[in-house]
Amino acid sequence: MSAPSHDPQPASPTVPSSVDVAVVGAGFSGMYLLHRLRELNLSAIVFEAGGDVGGTWYWNRYPGARVDVESLAYSYSFSEELEQEYEWQERYPTQPEILSYARHVADRFDLRRDIFFETRVTAASYDEQARTWLVRTGHGDEVTARFLVMATGCLSSSKLPEIPGLDRFEGPTYHTAHWPHEGVDFTGMRVGLIGTGSSGVQSIPVIAEQATALTVFQRTPAYSLPARNRTLRPDEIADMRANYRAFRQAQRESGFGVPTPIPEKSALEVSEEERDATFEQAWESGSLVNLLTAFHDLSIDQAANDTAKRFIHRKIHQIVRDPRTAADLCPEYPVGTKRPCLDTDYYETFNRPNVRLVNLRRTPLVEITDRGVRTSDDEYAFDAIVYATGFDAMTGALTNVDIRGRGGASLKEAWSAGPRTYLGIGSAGYPNLFMITGPGSPSVLSNMVVSIEQHVDWVIDAIEHLDRQGLRTIEPTEEAQDAWVDHVNLIAGATLYPKANSWYMGANVPGKPQVFMPYAGGVGEYRKTCDEVAAQGYKGFALST
């Protein structure tokens, strides 16, 4: 595996021995949090494993990497000046464009001076006497903090396939989430790529254009929609700039953090012509949310969902010329129950003479060899291997840190049967520990920037409340947490989500408990609940002096 390279950074100042708030992660969450904490005049530092700000967009530099929420919506709302001055170029910006936005924000709000880069937090333990967290880094730094905020992201702990021989391959290997900063030129190479989630779907068409031959190893096909990406027109940027406030409000009240009309019709009550025309509109629009909300029952009714499935299957068969490859690319699980993808020429790429698909359902992966990849019926020789095999999602980045709460209880052990949180913000037994977009909140089922801002604002309000009231600690009660976990499960159980083996369920990591982790009740409803909790004096949290 190629080592991640880092951007040069000025020498870090010394880590202070004590601060009000220690933040882990300088992605979109950690950056905004730092900005807000400074406004409260609290001392705060951020630890970041990467060499610069940006989180996901710092690490995931694979070819074709883009966000699948539109740029004007996937941006901070906290500063009108920032909204008005930043020039987005594309409808769905590339990783470099988003990273440059994150860097711009860091510069504009002078954030870097309190961020310790290339510094991984390894452990954090709660001192019940002092009521502070002791945070340790891989460099041996120690800092005590009243509050610890895990702004570690939902998709930041990458994973490799669980097969033998990973270090035997003699050529270069790359994980999409640790892509070399200088890029990779696959010209003249035979490339094997494992994994067909968003990272695979986005990188496959780009790698196919360079490589002599590309072999794609697919365990589960993705549902993917053409992104219809394009350069933004000056008039739409001007329109958005004139209407940002109303748009932001609509985002906050929406289901996915992206405003869309609320569907009124069932997929089963309309004629086949009307249904197809509605799906066709969503397909043409290049918006995942338009597809997922085309009818009100797609996420809850199998028969309704089947109509979307059949529509997409038909599209795949229309695009992909080889019928067997087309059939292999057609998913069977309900649409939307694994993260759907947005692509540019994904299905078309399988018509190229230098691209072939290996269906691992028929011939499973056996091992990586010194020459390439062995499946149950063949060995494939490569010059390079790309792992687009995803993440230990939602909990991995939290449980990788040795977090110890009351009585030295390990968070990893406390969550051994699945994550237990109240609102996805805190966990009983871990006072003054906040998670940004933690499990049990809408997080990955939403436009992340909207959910990040909501959580950061809520956490800031909570800290301000404690300080105003002369209180020292806040911690979810076991009862409130149990009720929230039940509620999250109840909502998930009323949907089709649990029907797929997805990373939402922890199903991609062998041995991980299978629990639906994000909150499926929608961004707007969830926000109301969080606001009510705060308005009722942080109901469900124990506050103490």
Stretch that binds ligand NA7, among 91-99, 138-146, 190-198, 249-257 (CB under 6 A): 190-198
535's enclosing H/E stretch is helix 523-535
Measured in whole angstroms, how far is the alpha carbon of residue 504 from the centre of its chain?
10
In a 13 Å sphere around the CA of 211, the CA atoms on its Cβ side amount to: 28
C-alpha angle 303-307-313 in degrees, rounded to nearest 5: 130
User: Which residues inside 5-44 make contact with ligand NA7, applying CB under 6 A?
Assistant: none
Comparison of 85 and 332: residue with beta carbon closer to ligand NA7: 332
The rounded distance, in Å, linking the Cα atoms of 333 and 264 is: 24
Comparison of 200 and 498: residue with beta carbon closer to ligand NA7: 200
The rounded distance, in Å, linking the Cα atoms of 545 and 273 is: 64
- To ligand NA7, the closest distance from the beta carbon of 134 in angstroms equals 33
The site map against ligand NA7 for 141-170 (x = CB under 6 A) is --------------x-----xx--------
The site map against ligand NA7 for 342-381 (x = CB under 6 A) is ------------------x----x----------------
Comparison of 501 and 529: residue with beta carbon closer to ligand NA7: 501
Stretch that binds ligand NA7, among 26-34, 195-203, 281-289, 533-541 (CB under 6 A): 195-203
In 3D space, the residue among 192, 174, 193, 194 whose CA is nearest the CA of residue 184 turns out to be 174
Residues 453, 77 contacting (CB under 8 angstroms)? yes
Comparison of 334 and 426: residue with beta carbon closer to ligand NA7: 334
**Interaction between residue 506 and ligand NA7 (CB under 6 A):** no
Comparison of 126 and 179: residue with beta carbon closer to ligand NA7: 179
- For the chain, first and last CA: distance in Å? 50
Residues 238, 379 contacting (CB under 8 angstroms)? no
Token reading at 395? 């909990």
Contacting residue, 27, 153, 200, 518, with ligand NA7 by CB under 6 A: 200
In 3D space, the residue among 100, 51, 48 whose CA is nearest the CA of residue 71 turns out to be 100
Comparison of 34 and 67: residue with beta carbon closer to ligand NA7: 67
**Interaction between residue 205 and ligand NA7 (CB under 6 A):** no
Comparison of 93 and 476: residue with beta carbon closer to ligand NA7: 93
Stretch that binds ligand NA7, among 70-78, 196-204, 278-286, 290-298 (CB under 6 A): 196-204
- To ligand NA7, the closest distance from the beta carbon of 378 in angstroms equals 15
Token reading at 44? 């705060």
Comparison of 161 and 522: residue with beta carbon closer to ligand NA7: 161
Comparison of 158 and 290: residue with beta carbon closer to ligand NA7: 158
- To ligand NA7, the closest distance from the beta carbon of 367 in angstroms equals 11
The backbone torsions φ and ψ at residue 281, rounded to the nearest 5 degrees and listed phi first, read: -60, -45
**Interaction between residue 339 and ligand NA7 (CB under 6 A):** yes
Token reading at 530? 């969080």
Token reading at 462? 């909570």
The rounded distance, in Å, linking the Cα atoms of 44 and 459 is: 14
Cross-strand bridge partners of residue 135: 124, 143
In 3D space, the residue among 165, 160, 162, 159 whose CA is nearest the CA of residue 368 turns out to be 165
**Interaction between residue 227 and ligand NA7 (CB under 6 A):** no
Contacting residue, 45, 194, 240, 452, with ligand NA7 by CB under 6 A: 194
Contacting residue, 157, 198, 299, 446, with ligand NA7 by CB under 6 A: 198
- DSSP codes of every residue in 512-527: ------S-TT-HHHHH
Residue nearest to ligand NA7 (CB): 197
Stretch that binds ligand NA7, among 77-85, 107-115, 189-197, 286-294 (CB under 6 A): 189-197
Comparison of 344 and 473: residue with beta carbon closer to ligand NA7: 344
Stretch that binds ligand NA7, among 10-18, 191-199, 265-273, 326-334 (CB under 6 A): 191-199
In 3D space, the residue among 300, 438, 341 whose CA is nearest the CA of residue 68 turns out to be 341
Token reading at 188? 């003249």
**Interaction between residue 220 and ligand NA7 (CB under 6 A):** yes
Contacting residue, 389, 395, 432, 473, with ligand NA7 by CB under 6 A: 389
Stretch that binds ligand NA7, among 13-21, 184-192, 197-205, 207-215 (CB under 6 A): 197-205
Comparison of 21 and 184: residue with beta carbon closer to ligand NA7: 184
Cross-strand bridge partners of residue 311: none
Cross-strand bridge partners of residue 148: 22, 433
Comparison of 135 and 184: residue with beta carbon closer to ligand NA7: 184
62's enclosing H/E stretch is none
**Interaction between residue 61 and ligand NA7 (CB under 6 A):** no
Stretch that binds ligand NA7, among 25-33, 198-206, 321-329, 483-491 (CB under 6 A): 198-206
Task: Please count the residues of this chain forming the interface with ligand NA7, following the rule CB under 6 A.
Answer: 21
Comparison of 162 and 170: residue with beta carbon closer to ligand NA7: 162
In 3D space, the residue among 413, 412, 411, 434 whose CA is nearest the CA of residue 422 turns out to be 434
Question: How many other CB atoms are there within 10 angstroms of residue 289's CB atom?
Answer: 22
The rounded distance, in Å, linking the Cα atoms of 423 and 519 is: 9
Comparison of 137 and 198: residue with beta carbon closer to ligand NA7: 198
Inter-CA distances, 410 with 77, 404, 509, 543, Å: 36, 5, 20, 22
Instruction: Specify the DSSP class assigned to residue 43.
Output: -
- To ligand NA7, the closest distance from the beta carbon of 311 in angstroms equals 21
**Interaction between residue 197 and ligand NA7 (CB under 6 A):** yes
Inter-CA distances, 65 with 298, 338, 341, 343, 344, Å: 28, 19, 12, 10, 11
Measured in whole angstroms, how far is the alpha carbon of residue 388 from the centre of its chain?
15
- To ligand NA7, the closest distance from the beta carbon of 330 in angstroms equals 14
For binding to ligand NA7 (CB under 6 A), which residues are involved? 155, 161-162, 176, 194-200, 219-220, 339, 360, 365, 388-390, 503, 508
